Chain A
C-alpha cells in the first residue's frame, strides 16, 4: 500500500503537450477520482503512473519511492483496463493466477523457470502450486466468481469480466489500484451495482485507488476526493462536496453537476448585511457571496431554485424572487426538470416531485425563489 505523489509532471507527445505541470497528492487508502472530458489527459496520467508512458519532466512517487527508474512490470500497480484486457486464451482462474505465477517465475532459478513457463503455456505440463490456488480461489470468492473459475473469459457477461479484471489486479496486492473508466462498457444498471461493489472492496482492503472517469456522477458518488482535469491541466482538487458547493471555475461548475451559469455585473456591495447586488441580463440578484471583479459569473444549481405559483407571497428581503415562464417540463422520476425563461435568459430548475404536487404546465407564469447563499460567484 502507499500514497501516490505527482510533482510537476509534464508529458509531451512530439509538439503536443498532453499534460501540463500536474501536481497530485493521493493519501494512502484514499479513493481518488480523475475526472474530465474526453482527451483531457486522464489516461495519460494513469499510464505515467503505471509506467507505460514516461513523463517528459516531473516526478512520480509511489509509497514515497521515486519510480522513474522502475519499469512498468515492477511498479506493483494493479491496473484495470477499460477493455478489461483479459487474456482470451486463459480461463478465469488462470487470468487471476497470472501475476502470482509470474511472481514465482521471477523468484526462481532458470531450470525452475522452464517448468513454470511450461505450466503457463499448457496445463498438462504442470500443476499450479497449492498456495497460488488458494489465493486465487479466495479472491474469486470475494468477487463472487468462484463457480466460474474454469470458464473461458469470453463466456462471461460484461459485469463478470469486469470482476475478473478487478480480481486479477487485486490478487497481486498492489500498492495502488488504477482503474481506467472501468464501468464505461457496462449498461446503466450494472454500472450502479458495480460502483457499489468497487467502493465496498476498496473500503474493505483499504487500497489506494485511482479511478479515471468522465462521468461526474460516478466520480462524485464513489471517490473520497476528485481531481477535475481540463486540457491537460488539473483545475481543481477537492472532496465531492467541495467541488459541488465551491467550484473554482465555470467549467467545473458545469462539469460537476448541472449549473445555471449567468453573466452578471456587480453593481453594489453592501457591508451591512454582507450581500452583493448583481445585475443580470434583465434582472437583479442578491448574493451572500462576494467577489472582487466587476464582470463575473453567477452559478446557481438547478435544485437550489424553488418554483412557486405566481400568486404566492414571498418576502423579498430574505430571498431573490424572479418571475419566470415554463418553457418545458421533463419528468425524471423523483425530480421534475423545468426549462424556464427569465427575462431573456433560459435557466434550468429541478424540483423534487412527490405524489400530490402538481407539475407546472408549459407557458405558465411562475415565481422562482433563490436563497442569497445559493448564488455562487466566480
Chain B
C-alpha cells in the first residue's frame, strides 16, 4: 500500500519524535559529553543558532583525552573492575544455587513444590533497596542474626551488610528468580529419550544427570547466567544502600559524579561504559536464545519421568526452603520493624506499636499520593504509546519501531537518568526537576514490558477485522480507536499492572530525577534509610510492598480470567 498521510501517520511521527527527544537525543548527548567533557545542548542547537555554533565548537574540540583519563583515573577503572567482578560473582552463585532448585521443580516430585514455586516469586516484587535495607535489619550491628551469632559465641557481625559480601548476598537471594524460571524450562526440555537410553545402558541416576541432563540444559544455563549478570550489573538499589565508602561501583560512582560533584564528563563516561557493558551482555543473551522458543521445541509435550527417590526429593525440598526462607525472613524483619517501638540487638522488638504507620499517614501521605499519581501518569502514557507501537510493529512490520522501543531494556536506570538530566537541564526544554520528565522517564523505561504485552494481543487480532472497519467507512485512526483498542484491552490490562508495579518499585530514576515536591515512596524510603529513620522506612516499605502485592494479585486474576 502506498503511504498516505493520515491520522495514523501523524501518530507514528509523534511516537518517533517522543522517543527521539526523550531517548535517542539523551543517549547521543551523553555519548558526546563523554568526549567533550562539558555540557552539550543538542535540543538547543536546533532552536538557537548561537547554541548551535557553541555546540559545533565543542564538537570540533573533541578528543579522546577524557577516555584516556579513565585509565589514569584509578577510581573509574577500579569501579568498572568492581562492578564486573560483583556481577560475575553474583552470576556464578545464582546459577550454582539455582541448578538444584530448578531441577527439583522441573524434574522431581519434591514435597511442597507448589509452595516453593510460589515463594520464589517474592523476591521479584520487592524493590532491591528495601531488600538491602532488610539485610541491615538482619545482619547489621543491631540485627537479630547478629544477636544469634553472638549468642552462639561469634564475635562482631556474622556478615557485614555494608560490604561487597553484603551486596552479593542481597543480589543473589533477590535476583535468583530471574534465572530460576528459564532454568526450569531448560531442564524440562532436555531429551527424555536420551536420558532413558543412558539409564538403560545401566548408568546411575547421578551419572545420567551429570553427563546427559545437565549438558543438554547448558544453553539455558548460559543464557540465564548472562541475564543475571546484566541485572546485577545494572542494579542501583542494593549498592546505593549497602556500598561502603571504599567500595567503588559504577552505578554508585556515576550517581555521585552527577548528584554530588556535577562532574558531567565523568558521569557521562561512566554512563556510556555501563550502557555498553549492559548492551553487550543483553545482546549475547539475545543471540543465545534466538530461535529457541523453549515452550514449543517439539509439538507434543514429552512425557517426562519425574524423580521420586525420597532421599533426593526430600533433601531438594529442604534445600529449596532454605533458599526461599532468606527473602521471606528479610521481609518479615521489615514487617516487624515497622510495628516495633524499638528493636535493639535482640531476637524480637521490645514492644509493638502502630505509631510509625500513623506518622506516615500524617506526614508522608504525600509520597504515597505522588507514587500513585506518577504511576498512573506513566501508565496512561505507556498504554497510549504501546498500543500504537504494537500496531505499527505488528500491522506495518515496522522493525525500526520495534528496535527503538526495545532500547530501554539495555539501558541501566541510573544511566538513563543521567542522560535525561544532562539533556533537559537547560532551555529550551528545561524539564529536569519536573514531574513531567519523571513520568516520561518511567514510561520509556517500562514501555518494553507494555509493548510485549500489547503486541501479543495485537497479533491475535486478524487483519481483516481492521479492514472491515475501514471498509465500513472508518479512517485508520477511528478503526484503531473503536475496534483495535477494545480488542487489545486484555493485553493492555495485563501490561498496565506490570508497568504500575515496576514504576512503584523504580529506584534509580526516582532518586535521580524526582523533585522534592514530587518525591514518590521509593525516594522517601531511600531518604529515610539515609537519615537512619529506620522505623518509618520500614512502615513505608511495608505499604509499598503491600500495594505491589495487591496489584500482582490483580494481575494474576486478570491473567486467569483471560485464559478461561
Could you tell me which A residues sit within 8 Å of B by CB distance?
50, 52-54, 71-74, 76-79, 81-83, 85-89, 98-99, 102-103, 105-106, 117, 120-121, 168-169, 172
Contact = CB atoms under 8 A, between A and B. Distances in A.
Which of A85, A98, A121, A172 gathers the greatest number of chain B CB atoms within 10 Å?
A: A85
A71 B462 CA distance: 21
B353 interface: no
Interface stretch (B200-208, B277-285, B478-486, B500-508): B478-486
Interface of B: 1-2, 4, 6, 462, 464-465, 467-476, 478, 481-483, 485-487
B472 A102 contact: yes
Contacts of A85: 462, 464-465, 467-468
A85 B2 CA distance: 24
Contacts of A73: 470-476
A77 B468 CA distance: 11
Contacts of B474: 73, 98, 102
A83 B464 contact: yes
Given A53-B1, A103-B473, A121 B467 contact: no
A88 B475 CA distance: 19
Given A83-B464, A120-B482, 7 more contacts: A74-B473, A76-B473, A79-B467, A89-B486, A98-B482, A99-B472, A172-B472
B380 to A, nearest CB: 16
A86 B464 CA distance: 9
Shortest 3 CB-CB contacts between residues of A and residues of B: A99-B472, A85-B468, A85-B464
Contact of A54 (B1, B473, B483): B1
A78 B471 contact: yes
Given A85-B464, A102-B478, A121 B470 contact: no
Query: DSSP class of B's interface residues: helix, strand, loop or mixed?
Result: helix
Nearest to B468: A85
Contact of B467 (A81, A105, A120): A81
B471 A87 contact: no
A81 B462 CA distance: 12
A125 to B, nearest CB: 13
B4 to A, nearest CB: 6
A168 B261 CA distance: 67
A146 to B, nearest CB: 20
Which of B471, B482, B486 gathers the greatest number of chain A CB atoms within 10 Å?
A: B471
A168 B471 CA distance: 11
A153 to B, nearest CB: 11
B349 to A, nearest CB: 51
25 contacts: A50-B467, A52-B1, A52-B467, A52-B470, A53-B1, A54-B2, A73-B472, A73-B473, A73-B476, A74-B473, A76-B473, A79-B471, A81-B467, A82-B464, A83-B462, A85-B462, A87-B465, A87-B469, A88-B465, A98-B472, A98-B474, A103-B473, A121-B481, A121-B482, A168-B468
A257 B465 CA distance: 35
Given A89-B486, A117-B481, A117-B482, A102 B471 contact: no
Contact of B471 (A77, A105, A120): A77
Contact of B464 (A71, A78, A81): A81
Contacts of B486: 89, 121
B470 A72 contact: yes
A117 B7 CA distance: 15
A110 to B, nearest CB: 13
Given A54-B1, A120-B482, A121-B486, A98 B469 contact: yes
Nearest to A120: B482
Contact of A88 (B4, B470, B482, B487): B487
A267 B483 CA distance: 67
A9 to B, nearest CB: 16
B473 A102 contact: yes
Contact of A172 (B6, B473, B481): B473
Nearest to B485: A121
A99 B473 contact: yes
Nearest to B479: A73
B1 to A, nearest CB: 6
Nearest to A113: B478
A181 B476 CA distance: 25
Contacts of B469: 87, 98
A118 to B, nearest CB: 11
Contacts of A121: 481-482, 485-486
B471 A50 contact: yes
Contacts of A79: 467-468, 471
Contacts of A83: 462, 464
A71 B4 contact: yes
A287 to B, nearest CB: 48
B483 A87 contact: yes
A226 to B, nearest CB: 24
A121 B4 CA distance: 27
Contacts of A71: 4, 6
A105 B464 contact: no
Contacts of B473: 73-74, 76, 99, 102-103, 106, 172
Contacts of B471: 50, 52, 72-73, 77-79, 169
A50 to B, nearest CB: 6
Contacts of A169: 471-472
A115 to B, nearest CB: 13
A98 B483 CA distance: 10
A73 B1 CA distance: 14
A74 B478 CA distance: 13
Contacts of A77: 471
Nearest to B467: A52
Contacts of A53: 1
Which of A77, A88, A172 gathers the greatest number of chain B CB atoms within 10 Å?
A: A88
Contacts of B1: 52-54
Contacts of A76: 473
A176 B481 CA distance: 27
Contacts of A74: 473
A73 B4 CA distance: 13
Which of B465, B473, B478, B483 gathers the greatest number of chain A CB atoms within 10 Å?
A: B473
Nearest to A88: B487
Nearest to A89: B486
Nearest to A79: B471
B489 to A, nearest CB: 8
B479 to A, nearest CB: 8
A339 B445 CA distance: 72
B216 to A, nearest CB: 42
A102 B481 CA distance: 12
Nearest to A75: B471
Which of B464, B482, B483 gathers the greatest number of chain A CB atoms within 10 Å?
A: B482
A369 B14 CA distance: 77
B89 to A, nearest CB: 51
A87 B478 contact: no
B457 to A, nearest CB: 12
A169 to B, nearest CB: 8
A82 B462 CA distance: 12
Contacts of A106: 473, 475
B516 to A, nearest CB: 37
Nearest to B465: A85
Given A54-B1, A88-B487, A105 B465 contact: no
B461 to A, nearest CB: 9
Nearest to A180: B464
A108 to B, nearest CB: 12
Nearest to B487: A89
B466 to A, nearest CB: 9
A52 B395 CA distance: 14
A135 to B, nearest CB: 14
B475 A87 contact: no
Contacts of A89: 483, 486-487
B333 to A, nearest CB: 47
A106 B469 CA distance: 14
Nearest to B483: A87
A53 B476 CA distance: 15
A298 to B, nearest CB: 44
Contacts of A98: 469, 472, 474, 482
